[in-house]
């Protein structure tokens, strides 16, 4: 058998040298000076070679141990080369089976795939929300762990930490995300069961009125205070447009200039940004157009209507709108999302058709027959409604006693 001294003293030659050890094991010395252990074996009548490793990383004794393992495999009809490749692939797969890796796979697939329940794809806002929750709240705690090794107590502790920040809604979403990631892991044989199941119903949803809308008596005062807003002009314009268009705050903050057709006085919000997964056309009143022309002087050179202050790569967060409402002294009576409730209430009171109002709010139609009608069929009525809504807000701001908001014939 070969000794380490013999191996070290063997010098490379012009041709490959083969130093025989025992039971099919030999050391191959190449002209470049590298030395590799090989095991020659015969399986199913064919001679094959199994690469054991390179000397001196693999010493003679270790090479013989690995050879003996390979011989046992051959005896039971297993090719050691094939077994080695399978083991290597399994280890690579296991490294790719951390929670963080599976979560990234789930996230990329889910944000472009229609929901099995609703048929809708994620809005840009929701995708961004999930995309920040994973790296900020979940991955720092369990991201580097093999997903098959994660147990329920680890998720329980993670959710408790989020709840401790007075963020129960975020904790609920975190639980849903972790559960969805585990479902993918189970489907792909990287986990055996969903560790989130025992935690369902464990988080108490915070009872908060998130969508407080202005009542008729409060609206004139809010409009006048907004006119005197001392904050950034783009924030003031954003709040005014929120009232004039009745869109969701996220849809407004993410608005891009390319979505607006000033000649047709329309705003086309693409599918990817809509909660209901359908393109939405917003007719623009004269008041909305005036604000957009003003805003274009400020941010028209940017991609977005409302870029975040100090950067060109991010949009204004919806929290900016909530902070502005608080600065105006109306946070106890109004939230930005509540602008839609104010619009809906007053339009219904004015006698506009519910179908027209719901279409303007981009609500999903539950009646499949009625849902088959194209939204453009309501556009004339919606345009008249939005024009009158704009005139009504002007009149209320000016202190009119009689509200000129009646349904057009």
- For residue range 345-362, list pLDDT tens digits in order: 999 988 898 889 999 998
From the list 93, 193, 293, 373, the catalytic residue is 373
Q: pLDDT > 90: what percent of the chain?
A: 57
Does the pLDDT at position 369 exceed 50?
no
Tell me whether strands 260-261 and 17-20 are parallel, antiparallel or unpaired: unpaired
Classified by CATH at the fold level, domain 99-199 comes out as: DNA polymerase; domain 1 (1.10.150)
Confirm whether 333 is a catalytic residue: no
From the list 170, 275, 359, 397, the catalytic residue is 275
Q: Regarding predicted confidence, which is higher, 230 or 119?
A: 230
Measured distance CA(249)–CA(316) in Å, rounded: 10
From the list 64, 213, 240, 248, the catalytic residue is 248
Facing residues of 67 across strands? none
pLDDT band at 88 (very low <50, low <70, confident <90, very high): confident
What is the arithmetic mean of pLDDT over 209-226? 79
Closest CA to 81 of 112, 113, 49: 49
- Structure-block tokens of residue 310: 């100090």
CB 174 within 8 A of CB 137: yes
Q: What is the DSSP letter of 307?
A: B
399 exposure class (CB count in 10 Å sphere: 0-12, 13-18, 19+): exposed
Q: Hey, what CATH class is 219-398 in?
A: mainly alpha
Does the pLDDT at position 205 exceed 80?
no
Confirm whether 42 is a catalytic residue: no
From the list 170, 337, 359, 397, the catalytic residue is 337
From the list 212, 340, 359, 382, the catalytic residue is 340
CB 86 within 8 A of CB 67: no
From the list 95, 144, 363, 370, the catalytic residue is 363
Poorest-pLDDT segment among 189-198, 224-233, 364-373: 364-373
Classified by CATH at the fold level, domain 4-92 comes out as: Double Stranded RNA Binding Domain (3.30.160)
| Helix intervals (H) in 164-307 | 168-187, 219-227, 233-245, 249-253, 286-299
Count of residues making up the chain: 409
What is the arithmetic mean of pLDDT over 138-159? 93
Tell me whether strands 46-55 and 35-43 are parallel, antiparallel or unpaired: antiparallel
Q: Output the pLDDT for position 403.
A: 56
For the chain, state the CA radius of gyration: 33
Q: Output the pLDDT for position 207.
A: 44
Q: Output the pLDDT for position 242.
A: 95
Q: Regarding predicted confidence, which is higher, 208 or 237?
A: 237
- How confident is the model over 249-299, as pLDDT tens digits? 989 998 999 999 999 999 999 877 776 667 889 999 999 999 999 999 999
Confirm whether 229 is a catalytic residue: no
Measured distance CA(203)–CA(205) in Å, rounded: 6
How far apart are the two ends of the chain, measured CA to CA in Å?
A: 104
Closest CA to 253 of 182, 144, 185, 336: 336
Confirm whether 165 is a catalytic residue: no
CA atoms within 13 Å, Cβ hemisphere of 294: 14
pLDDT band at 97 (very low <50, low <70, confident <90, very high): confident
For the chain, give the mean pLDDT: 86
Confirm whether 248 is a catalytic residue: yes
What is the arithmetic mean of pLDDT over 66-80? 93
Confirm whether 240 is a catalytic residue: no
- How confident is the model over 321-344, as pLDDT tens digits? 999 999 999 988 888 988 899 999
Q: Output the pLDDT for position 59.
A: 92
Residue with tokens 């919606």: 382
Q: What are the residue ranges spanned by the domains of the chain?
A: 4-92, 99-199, 219-398
Measured distance CA(407)–CA(409) in Å, rounded: 6
Poorest-pLDDT segment among 101-105, 145-149, 257-261, 364-368: 364-368
């Amino acid at each position: 058998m070969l000794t380490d001294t013999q191996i070290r003293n063997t010098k490379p030659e012009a041709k490959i040298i083969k130093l025989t050890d025992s039971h099919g094991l030999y050391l191959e010395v190449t002209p470049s000076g590298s030395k590799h252990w090989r095991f020659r074996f015969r399986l199913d009548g064919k001679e094959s070679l199994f690469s054991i490793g390179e000397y001196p990383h693999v010493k003679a004794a270790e090479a013989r141990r690995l050879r003996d393992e390979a011989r046992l495999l051959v005896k039971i009809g297993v090719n050691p080369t094939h077994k080695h490749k399978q083991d290597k692939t399994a280890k690579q797969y296991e490294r790719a089976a951390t929670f963080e890796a599976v979560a990234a796979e789930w996230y990329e697939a889910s944000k472009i795939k229609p929901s099995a329940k609703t048929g809708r794809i994620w809005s840009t806002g929701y995708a961004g929300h999930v995309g920040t929750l994973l790296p900020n709240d979940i991955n720092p705690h369990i991201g580097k762990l093999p997903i098959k090794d994660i147990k329920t107590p680890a998720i329980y502790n993670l959710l408790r930490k989020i709840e401790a920040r007075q963020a129960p809604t975020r904790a609920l979403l975190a639980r849903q995300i972790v559960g969805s990631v585990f479902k993918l892991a189970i489907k792909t044989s990287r986990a055996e069961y969903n560790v989130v199941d025992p935690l369902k119903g464990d988080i108490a949803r915070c009872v908060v009125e998130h969508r407080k809308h202005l009542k008729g008596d409060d609206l004139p005062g809010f409009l006048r205070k907004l006119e005197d807003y001392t904050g950034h002009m783009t924030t003031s314009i954003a709040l005014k447009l929120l009232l004039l268009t009745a869109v969701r705050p996220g849809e407004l903050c993410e608005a891009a200039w390319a979505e607006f057709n000033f000649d047709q006085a329309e705003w086309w919000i693409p599918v990817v940004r809509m909660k209901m997964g359908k393109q939405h056309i917003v007719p623009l009143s004269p008041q909305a157009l005036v604000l957009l022309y003003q805003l274009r002087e400020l941010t028209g050179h940017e991609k977005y209507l409302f870029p975040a202050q100090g950067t060109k790569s991010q949009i204004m967060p919806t929290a900016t709108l909530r902070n502005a409402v608080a600065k105006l002294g109306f946070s106890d009576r109004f939230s930005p999302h509540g602008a839609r409730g104010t619009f809906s209430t007053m339009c219904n009171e004015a006698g506009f058709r519910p179908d027209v109002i719901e279409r303007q709010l981009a609500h999903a139609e539950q009646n499949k027959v009625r849902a088959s009608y194209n939204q453009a069929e309501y556009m004339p009525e919606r345009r008249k409604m939005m024009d009158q809504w704009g005139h009504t807000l002007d009149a209320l701001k000016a202190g009119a006693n009689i509200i000129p908001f009646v349904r057009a014939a």
